[in-house]
Amino acid sequence: MGYRSSVYFVLPDSYWQGLMDIENPNLQGETVGDWIDDDWVVEPDNLDYWRYANQTPTPMHFGEIHGIKWYREAGGVVTAFENYITKNVPEELWGMVIIGEEPEDNEFLGMPYEFDMYLERNVNMPGRPDAPKKEVEPEPIDPNLPVPINWLRSLLK
């Protein structure tokens, strides 16, 4: 993987706490949960996957880790994380997208597409017609100004 990676993953909510409690074998007292930057639960009604799956719908837990050195060779939290998921969670019920610094560092593990996880590349450019516009509130004009406002505005251009 690239020097620093971002990792996005999903697994059934029932497996979440088990993943969070896994200890880092290389650093006593540290757990996988210490690395999580953001997480949330999505109920089955809000995921298309459950409309077609031949399984009982279950809440899914999504999570993100940013700025991690995702090196499997080093063991530690990365190996513990991947081992837990691959050995405990049925393959069709989890997905992971790992984004490295270079395009060849990107990985898709499990079934991220089944849970609407896709990699999109975007470039935001100011002035582009379809770019989001910033809402700017004009400052109120003091009605007691001693000069005509249009003349004053022309000086500020």
Is residue 130 pLDDT above 80, yes or no? no
82: confidence class by pLDDT, cuts 50, 70, 90: very high
Instruction: Please indicate whether residue 156 or residue 52 has the higher confidence score (pLDDT).
Output: 52
Q: Are 61 and 39 in contact (CB under 8 A)?
A: yes
Residue 2 is predicted with a pLDDT of 42
Instruction: Please indicate whether residue 85 or residue 23 has the higher confidence score (pLDDT).
Output: 85
Q: Are 50 and 112 in contact (CB under 8 A)?
A: no
Lowest mean pLDDT among 7-16, 75-84, 88-97: 75-84
Q: Where are the alpha helices (DSSP H) in 4-148?
A: 13-20, 49-52, 76-88
Please count the other Cβ atoms lying within 10 Å of the Cβ belonging to residue 56: 7
Q: Considering the chain, what is the average pLDDT of its residues?
A: 83
65: confidence class by pLDDT, cuts 50, 70, 90: very high
pTM across the whole model: 0.73
Q: Which domains does the chain have, with CATH numbers?
A: 5-115 (3.30.70)
